[in-house]
């Protein structure tokens, strides 16, 4: 169907399209197809009212490559989904979702599965149509009255004239020898216009233009500025019937949406009745001992050192003498309001009860803010223990050094 | 139609079907002429009562339709293995003195045969429900496998009997001491108690027995009378049957397996067990078809096209199993709620190698292996994957049941194998006994013609 004539009145001189052979039974068609196949024709086909088993080998049709296309598409879909999810969530914009790892394979499986199926399904449909050269809107055979019965109860073989082995006489003889009920010469289609109907052309152009509109609007919206409120496409999703935290609510007497816990409620882990451990006091005065829950061992000391490094060193400095980086910087900038941090190793602080040191860290003192909201009681006590060690170290005398090492100190 | 042709291609696919050669075909058309084309119509529009009553003559290919002496042989060997295996398992359990281990091993083996039987029952119900045309030639095999329900009920008594006598080695909800300490178990006790458990057991097996018996009996009756109404009758029965089947399988798996961890729950559990039923059943049917054909039974009426379909269903339900298994896992993994994750804790702890093996050997490897149509159409290929899937289905059930008994280590032992081989042997012997006096396929089913002439490609 490479070249078709433009509209012309039908004439008997229309060139030959091919030869049409009609059969009554599928079995006859199969036998005929084998003969035509063995004769070495390339441009021919069979037409049946229903799928005839065995027609593919009878016609010598190779197995389709469609499964391989679908396999490739499925693997492409799986890879695309995995790379997309890795790139967006773990690489380009790492974001913790539900406390899972950035690249969390189980969470990625549903999308991977869907894309695999989607790519495979689309490839199956489109590939099937393309390999079959469909859609195929018009054929010269449509004008043969005999051929109309192909949708009912007759079977046909058509050998096209463009086949290199085609010879009107010989091919006709071949088809007749296959037991055809009738053999008919089919002329080329001279009635149908060789171009697409204008209705279809317009429809395609209009649909294409319409399809661009959403993208154009999106592109415009990215650049344009507008003072009017945003458009709510799904209003009940944007404005939900619920009260958010810290908002007003007329329903309750106190007009607050958030409710107070029931009187006497204690959240899990917040029942702090141990005054010594949580307040640093014993019988209303600062405790002079560490609470029993805090063990005086290397582990607590290490924990105190870590907590001291995180919370205290920036201002008080690594040895607690008040020369931390924040202080150095503030002094350098000559900030007028800057109060230098205390040297926490001063002798009078070394004599303070541990409970008072605990209280100072927890609640803050003078310019120093309290750390109780960000350090656990255990961490504060460990810090106090480490602080005691610093104080001892800074106020040490020669007698504190083990006798064996004193010689080297002088 | 596609247009690529090659001169090289030959008629190989034709020669795969010795059945449909011209002489047979001529016979078919002759007989049709004599009865005025009625058989085809009766097969096509089976639903109406005004259809012609002409008996459909089985003009299928000549072949051995009966097991004959082979049935006795299978019964002796499989029955022997069954008795010895089951006895050995009981003996090992007694020697070890660890009845809890024995009961769990036994439950795994029992569920392995039960799932095959239930898969068969489901298959028969589905074929009637959809008025399937491809399957009549293989349907009798499933009918016979499904008819093992009485044997399976007797096997279940080993689980239900001790429970009624106060043993709680399997189910801790039956232990009053445990229930006393667990508010959840107290709340669940209206459902999880021994009396109601036993009543449900009777109901499940009663329903299955009635349906499996009905399907086999009517089908065999049709072999002698040829009445197409029997097929229509079973079609009507299959719809409520399918609903009852779905409910009974779901609740049976909840009762027998899920309640091993009575504080845990998953709404997907029933479907998970059902997926296993179908995978193991199709594998079993594939193996039986291959074995029958090797012994010259049904060698002509079941063709490569039917085997291809069995392979396709194996492949499909391998994927279905993975879909369900992963869905169950992912929801629990994502929500991360302790009362749900507790079930996966041992399975992702000491049992992690088994879980990983299931992922790869129950899904990835058989998925790739069964993907090609050439594998499914190849006798060895189909048989290989059928055996593979039956073995991995055992591992799947082992993974469902055993961590409840031994969360800390995989307690695989000789007793497990003995129980498995034993119950499988008994199941096979019982199937052979049922099949011995029957045709191995329906001979006068209204859709038999279409099934014999079935082509896949």
Residue B63 clears pLDDT 90, i.e. is over it: no
**Interface of chain A toward chain B, CB-CB under 8 angstroms:** 27, 34, 37-38, 40-43, 45-47, 53-62, 64, 67, 71, 98-100, 106-107, 109-110, 113, 131-133
HEC-encoded secondary structure of chain B: CCCCCCCCCCCHHHHCCCCCCHHHHHHHHHHHHHCCCHHHHHHHCCCCCCCCCCCCCCCCCCCECCCCHHHHHHHHHHHHHHHHHHHHHHHHHHHHCCHHHHHHHHHHHHHHHHHHHHHHHHHHHHHHHCCCCCCHHHHHHHHHHHCCHHHHHHHHHHHHHHHHCCCCCCCHHHCHHHHHHCHHHHHHCCCCCHHHHHHHHHHHHHHHHHHHHHHHHHHHHHHHHCCHHHHHHHHHHHHHHHHHHHHHHHHHHHHHCHHHCCCCCCCCHHHHHHHHHHHHHHHHHHHHHHHHHHCCECCCCCCHHHHHHHHHHHHHHHHHHHHHHHHHHHHHHHHCCHHHHCCHHHHCCCCHHHHHHHHHHHHHHHHHHHCCHHHHHCHHHHHHHHHHHHHHHHHHHHHHHHHHHCCCCCCCCHHHHHHHHHHHHHHHHHHHHHHHCCCCCCCCCCCHHHHHCCCCC
State how far residue A50 is from chain B, nearest Cα, in angstroms: 12
Q: Which residue has tokens 């890879």? A: A79
- What would the mean pLDDT of A220-241 be, rounded to a whole number? 86
What is the overall mean pLDDT for chain A?
A: 89
Please give the share of chain B, as a percent, with pLDDT higher than 70: 87
- Which residues in chain A have Cβ-Cβ distances shorter than 8 Å to B303? none
Neighbours of A405 (CB within 10 A): 8
- What would the mean pLDDT of B92-121 be, rounded to a whole number? 93
Helix (H) or strand (E) holding A156: strand A155-160
Confidence of residue A274 (pLDDT cuts 50, 70, 90): confident
Asked if residue A3 is part of any domain, the answer here is no
Last residue within a domain, chosen from A136, A160, A191: A191
Last residue within a domain, chosen from A132, A160, A191: A191
- What would the mean pLDDT of A266-272 be, rounded to a whole number? 84
Q: Which domain holds residue A47?
A: 14-191
Write the pLDDT tens digit of every residue in A156-168: 999 999 999 999 8
Please give the share of chain B, as a percent, with pLDDT higher than 90: 81
pLDDT of residue A12: 56
Write the pLDDT tens digit of every residue in B221-271: 999 999 999 999 999 999 999 999 999 999 999 999 999 999 999 999 999
The structural domain count of chain A equals 2
Report the distance separating Cα A293 and Cα B343, nearest Å. Answer: 36
- What would the mean pLDDT of A219-246 be, rounded to a whole number? 86
State how far residue B457 is from chain A, nearest Cα, in angstroms: 7
Asked if residue A352 is part of any domain, the answer here is yes
Q: How far are the Cα atoms of A222, B93, B167, B193, B197 from residue B187, in angstroms, in the given order?
A: 57, 34, 21, 11, 16
Q: Between B5, B8, B330, which is nearest A59 by CB?
A: B5
Q: At what angle do helices A105-131 and B304-335 cross, to 10 degrees?
A: 150
pLDDT of residue A259: 87
pLDDT of residue B44: 38
- What would the mean pLDDT of A124-146 be, rounded to a whole number? 91
Asked if residue A279 is part of any domain, the answer here is yes
Residue B56 clears pLDDT 60, i.e. is over it: no
Q: Between B1, B6, B13, which is nearest A60 by CB?
A: B6
Confidence of residue A397 (pLDDT cuts 50, 70, 90): confident
Q: Which residue has tokens 């003192």? A: A365
State how far residue B313 is from chain A, nearest Cα, in angstroms: 18
Confidence of residue A2 (pLDDT cuts 50, 70, 90): very low
| A329 and A184 assigned to the same domain | no
- Which residues in chain B have Cβ-Cβ distances shorter than 8 Å to A56? 2, 13, 457
Residue A212 clears pLDDT 90, i.e. is over it: yes
Contacts A–B by Cβ distance under 8 A: 69
Report the distance separating Cα A405 and Cα A250, nearest Å. Answer: 76
Q: Which residue of B has its CA nearest to A39?
A: B7
pLDDT of residue B59: 55
Confidence of residue B55 (pLDDT cuts 50, 70, 90): very low
Q: In the 8-state DSSP scheme, what is residue A92?
A: I
pLDDT of residue A400: 78
Backbone angles phi, psi at A292, to 5 degrees: -60, -25
| A175 and A280 assigned to the same domain | no
Write the pLDDT tens digit of every residue in B280-339: 999 999 999 999 999 999 999 999 999 999 999 999 999 999 999 999 999 999 999 998
Write the pLDDT tens digit of every residue in A284-340: 899 989 998 888 899 999 999 999 999 999 999 998 888 899 999 988 888 778 888
Q: Which residue of A has its CA nearest to B373?
A: A67
Please give the share of chain A, as a percent, with pLDDT higher than 90: 52
Report the distance separating Cα A351 and Cα A392, nearest Å. Answer: 11
Beta bridge partners of A183: A21
- What would the mean pLDDT of A39-54 be, rounded to a whole number? 92
Secondary structure (DSSP) of A364-402: EETTEEP-TTTS-HHHHHHHHHHHHHHHHHHT--GGGS-
Least Cα distance to A307 among A389, A380, A391, A393 occurs for A380
- What would the mean pLDDT of B420-440 be, rounded to a whole number? 95
pLDDT of residue A334: 81
Confidence of residue A409 (pLDDT cuts 50, 70, 90): low
Q: Strand, helix or coil at A264?
A: coil
State how far residue A33 is from chain B, nearest Cα, in angstroms: 11
Q: How many CA atoms lie within 13 A of A374 on its CB side?
A: 10
* CATH number, domain containing residue A387: 1.10.760.10
CB contact under 8 A, A132 and B7: no
- Which residues in chain B have Cβ-Cβ distances shorter than 8 Å to A64? 2
Confidence of residue B430 (pLDDT cuts 50, 70, 90): very high
- Which residues in chain B have Cβ-Cβ distances shorter than 8 Å to A33? none
**Interface of chain B toward chain A, CB-CB under 8 angstroms:** 1-14, 25, 323, 326, 329-330, 333-334, 336, 371, 373, 455, 457
Residue A236 clears pLDDT 90, i.e. is over it: no
Return the top range by mean pLDDT from A118-122, A185-189, B16-20, B36-40.
Answer: A118-122
Last residue within a domain, chosen from A148, A176, A191: A191
- Which residues in chain A have Cβ-Cβ distances shorter than 8 Å to B10? 57
Torsion B417-B421-B426-B430 (CA) sign: positive
- Which residues in chain A have Cβ-Cβ distances shorter than 8 Å to B323? 113
Confidence of residue A399 (pLDDT cuts 50, 70, 90): confident
State how far residue B21 is from chain A, nearest Cα, in angstroms: 11
Asked if residue A217 is part of any domain, the answer here is no
| A149 and A25 assigned to the same domain | yes
Asked if residue A299 is part of any domain, the answer here is yes
- Which residues in chain B have Cβ-Cβ distances shorter than 8 Å to A46? 1
Contact (Cβ atoms closer than 8 angstroms) between residue B426 and residue B53:
no
Q: How far are the Cα atoms of B145, B200, B201, B210 from residue B243, in angstroms, in the given order?
A: 20, 17, 18, 14
pLDDT of residue A332: 87
Write the pLDDT tens digit of every residue in A16-39: 999 999 999 999 999 999 999 999
What is the overall mean pLDDT for chain B?
A: 88
pLDDT of residue B448: 94
């Amino acid at each position: 169907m490479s070249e078709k004539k433009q509209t012309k009145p039908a004439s008997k001189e229309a060139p030959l399209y091919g030869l049409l052979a009609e059969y009554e039974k599928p079995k006859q068609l199969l036998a005929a197809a084998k003969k035509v196949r063995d004769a070495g024709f390339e441009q021919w086909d069979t037409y049946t009212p229903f799928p005839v088993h065995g027609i593919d080998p009878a016609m010598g049709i190779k197995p389709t490559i469609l499964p391989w296309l679908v396999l490739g598409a499925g693997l492409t879909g799986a890879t695309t989904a995995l790379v997309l999810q890795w790139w967006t969530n773990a690489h380009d914009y790492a974001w913790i979702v539900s406390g899972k790892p950035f690249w969390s394979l189980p969470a990625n499986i549903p999308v991977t599965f869907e894309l695999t199926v989607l790519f495979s399904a689309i490839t199956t449909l489109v590939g099937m149509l393309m390999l079959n050269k469909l859609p195929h809107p018009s054929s010269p055979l449509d004008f043969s009255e005999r051929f109309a019965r192909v949708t009912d109860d007759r079977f046909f073989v058509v050998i096209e004239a463009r086949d290199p082995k085609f010879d009107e006489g010989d091919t006709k003889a071949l088809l007749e020898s296959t037991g055809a009920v009738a053999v008919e010469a089919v002329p080329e289609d001279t009635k149908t216009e060789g171009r697409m109907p204008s209705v279809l052309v317009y429809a395609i152009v209009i649909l294409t233009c319409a399809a661009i509109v959403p993208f154009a609007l999106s592109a415009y919206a990215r650049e344009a500025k507008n003072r009017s409120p945003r458009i709510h496409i799904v209003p009940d999703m944007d404005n939900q019937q619920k009260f958010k935290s810290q908002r007003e609510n007329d329903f309750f007497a106190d007009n607050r949406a958030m409710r107070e816990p029931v009187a006497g409620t204690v959240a899990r882990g917040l029942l702090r009745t141990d005054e010594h451990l949580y307040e640093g006091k014993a019988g209303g005065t600062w405790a002079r001992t560490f609470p029993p829950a805090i063990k005086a061992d290397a582990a607590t000391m290490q924990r105190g050192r870590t907590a001291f490094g995180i919370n205290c060193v920036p201002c008080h400095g690594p040895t607690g003498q008040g020369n931390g980086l924040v202080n150095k910087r503030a002094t350098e900038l000559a900030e007028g309001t800057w109060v230098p941090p205390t040297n926490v190793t001063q002798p009078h602080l070394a004599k303070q009860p541990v409970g008072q040191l605990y209280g100072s860290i927890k609640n803050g003192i003078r310019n120093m803010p309290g750390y109780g909201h960000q350090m656990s009681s255990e961490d504060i006590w460990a810090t106090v223990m480490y602080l005691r060690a610093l104080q001892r170290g800074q106020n040490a005398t020669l007698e504190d050094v083990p006798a064996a090492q004193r010689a080297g100190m002088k | 139609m596609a247009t690529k042709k090659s001169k090289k291609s030959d008629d190989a696919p034709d020669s795969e079907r010795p059945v449909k050669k011209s002489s047979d075909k001529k016979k078919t058309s002759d007989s049709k002429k004599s009865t005025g084309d009625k058989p085809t119509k009766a097969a096509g529009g089976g639903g109406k009562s005004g259809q012609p009553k002409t008996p459909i003559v089985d003009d299928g290919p000549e072949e051995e339709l009966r097991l004959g002496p082979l049935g006795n042989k299978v019964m002796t060997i499989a029955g022997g293995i069954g008795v010895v295996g089951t006895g050995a398992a009981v003996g090992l359990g007694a020697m070890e003195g660890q009845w809890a281990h024995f009961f769990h091993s036994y439950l795994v083996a029992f569920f392995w045969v039960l799932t095959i039987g239930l898969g068969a029952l489901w298959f028969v119900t589905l074929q009637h429900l959809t008025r399937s045309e491809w399957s009549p030639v293989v349907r009798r095999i499933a009918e016979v496998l499904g008819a093992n329900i009485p044997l399976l009920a007797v096997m279940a008594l080993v689980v239900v009997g001790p429970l009624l006598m106060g043993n709680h080695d399997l189910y801790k909800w039956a232990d009053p001491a445990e229930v006393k300490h667990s508010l959840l178990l107290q709340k669940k006790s209206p459902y999880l108690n021994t009396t109601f458990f036993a009543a449900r057991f009777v109901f499940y097996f009663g329903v299955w027995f009635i349906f499996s018996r009905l399907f086999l009996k009517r089908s065999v009756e049709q072999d002698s009378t040829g009445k197409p109404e029997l097929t229509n009758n079973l079609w009507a029965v299959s719809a409520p049957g399918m609903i009852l089947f779905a409910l009974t399988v779901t609740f049976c798996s909840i009762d027998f397996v899920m309640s091993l961890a009575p504080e845990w729950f998953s709404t997907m559990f029933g479907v998970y067990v059902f997926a296993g039923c179908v995978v193991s059943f199709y594998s079993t049917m594939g193996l039986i078809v291959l074995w029958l054909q090797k012994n010259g039974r049904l060698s002509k009426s079941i063709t490569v096209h039917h085997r291809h379909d069995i392979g396709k269903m194996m492949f499909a339900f391998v994927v279905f199993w993975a879909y369900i298994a992963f869905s169950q896992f992912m929801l629990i993994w994502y929500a991360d709620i302790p009362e749900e994750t507790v079930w996966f804790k041992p399975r992702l702890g000491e049992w992690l190698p088994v879980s990983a093996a299931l992922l790869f050997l129950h899904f990835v490897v058989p998925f790739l292996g069964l993907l090609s149509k050439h594998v499914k159409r190849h006798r060895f290929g189909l048989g290989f994957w059928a055996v593979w899937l039956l073995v991995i289905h055992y591992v799947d059930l082992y993974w469902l049941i055993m961590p409840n008994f031994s969360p800390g280590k995989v307690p695989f032992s000789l007793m497990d194998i003995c129980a498995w081989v034993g119950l499988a042997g008994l199941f096979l012997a019982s199937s052979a006994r049922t099949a011995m006096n029957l045709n191995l396929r329906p001979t006068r089913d209204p859709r038999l013609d279409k099934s014999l002439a079935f082509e896949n490609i």
